[in-house]
Chain A
Amino acid sequence: MVGLAALAVIIHVLETAIPSPVPGLRPGLANVITLVVLFRYGLAMAAWVSLLRVVGGSLLIGTFLAPAFLLSLVGALAVLLSLAVVRPLLRLGLSPIGSGALASVAHVGGQLLIVRLLLIPHDGLWLLAPWLMIAALPLGIFTGMIASETLKQLETTPKGGRTASHATD
């Protein structure tokens, strides 16, 4: 599990290096790991991995306890909350694609909420909300598709990993 969290941290850090045309808009590739863990090991593990990712990633980028960390944390919590809500649907055939779409929109929604409450206390912020969330939807579907493909590849691998040393993770 620590190995997956470490992987998520690496993706998280690498992703901050990718320039984005719109500030604050990122593909959210680190959430691929959250989705993979959710579908393979359950919600509790997904929560651990994504929170470890937020703390570990922010320590490496240097934003620990800064506003960016707060945004990351709230985003991760919003994602986990949304995934917890749709958890019963997983059994009915909801795949990482639908979950990813929902999680991505929830991520942006949670962040906007905390920005409105703490950082930019002006209602004008809500004019930005639909645009950011509409941008988040295809990005979430994209993330979900990657997670879905990853899961398919992992199915041929036993849960402990390829080698014995991974079994202790």
Chain B
Amino acid sequence: MPRPSLLDCLVILILAASLGLLLAMSLDGRSGDTALVMAEDTIVKRINLSRAGEYTVSGPLGESLLEVSNGRIRFADAPCPDRICLRRGWLSQHGDSATCIPNRVHIRLEAEENGYDSINF
């Protein structure tokens, strides 16, 4: 069984400490995605999805309620007759969108310039 030298222990300790720090940073400050909210063709809100909460957006029919939790967003309530926007469910992936045409509210998760998720061969 080879024994590590003092310098080995030092190097391993430094590596372990910096990796622990890296882990703490990645668990703490997760860079949340943002949802773009549009009403009547104009951007009214950019919502950070890392914090849970509820938001209202007003349109011609009344107020649409948006709910954010666990990095996702959905229409929680809407004044429109068909409520298709509610049935769209949770949006979590980049590029996902939901639209309420009667109330003219549109939400979209902002996508990066690269529109693909991954490449495989």
Contacts from A to B (Cβ < 8 Å): 66-67, 86, 89, 92-99, 101-102, 105, 118-123, 126-127, 129-131, 133-134, 137, 141, 144-145, 148-149, 152
User: Could you say which of B10, B23, B121 contacts A67, with CB atoms under 8 Å apart?
Assistant: B121
Determine the distance from Cα of A94 to Cα of B30 in the docked complex, in whole angstroms. 36
User: Could you say which of B7, B8, B9, B119 contacts A119, with CB atoms under 8 Å apart?
Assistant: B119
Cβ distance B112 to chain A, nearest Cβ, rounded Å: 7
Nearest residue, chain A, Cβ from B114: A121
Interface range on chain B (Cβ under 8 Å from partner): 20 to 34
Which residues of chain A have C-beta atoms less than 8 A from B4's C-beta?
Answer: 95, 97-98, 141
Cβ distance A135 to chain B, nearest Cβ, rounded Å: 10
Contact between A137 and B19, CB atoms less than 8 A apart: yes
Determine the distance from Cα of A97 to Cα of B6 in the docked complex, in whole angstroms. 11
Contact between A127 and B11, CB atoms less than 8 A apart: no
Nearest residue, chain B, Cβ from A118: B119
Interface residues of B in 43-58 (CB under 8 A from A): none
Q: Contacts A133-B19, A152-B2; is A126 near B26 (CB within 8 Å)?
A: yes
Contact between A120 and B31, CB atoms less than 8 A apart: no
Which residues of chain A have C-beta atoms less than 8 A from B42's C-beta?
Answer: none
Nearest residue, chain B, Cβ from A67: B121
Cβ distance A143 to chain B, nearest Cβ, rounded Å: 12
User: Could you say which of B11, B118, B120 contacts A101, with CB atoms under 8 Å apart?
Assistant: B11
Contacts from B to A (Cβ < 8 Å): 1-2, 4-12, 15-16, 19-20, 22-23, 26, 30-31, 94, 112, 114, 116-121
Which residues of chain B have C-beta atoms less than 8 A from A96's C-beta?
Answer: 2
Nearest residue, chain A, Cβ from B25: A130
Contact between A94 and B16, CB atoms less than 8 A apart: no
Q: Contacts A95-B5, A98-B7, A119-B119; is A134 near B12 (CB within 8 Å)?
A: no
6 nearest CB pairs, A to B: A98-B8, A148-B2, A130-B23, A98-B11, A121-B114, A97-B4
Which residues of chain A have C-beta atoms less than 8 A from B23's C-beta?
Answer: 130-131, 134
Nearest residue, chain A, Cβ from B22: A130
User: Could you say which of A86, A127, A149 contacts B26, with CB atoms under 8 Å apart?
Assistant: A127
Contact between B117 and A98, CB atoms less than 8 A apart: no
Q: Contacts A101-B12, A141-B12, A145-B2; is A89 near B7 (CB within 8 Å)?
A: yes
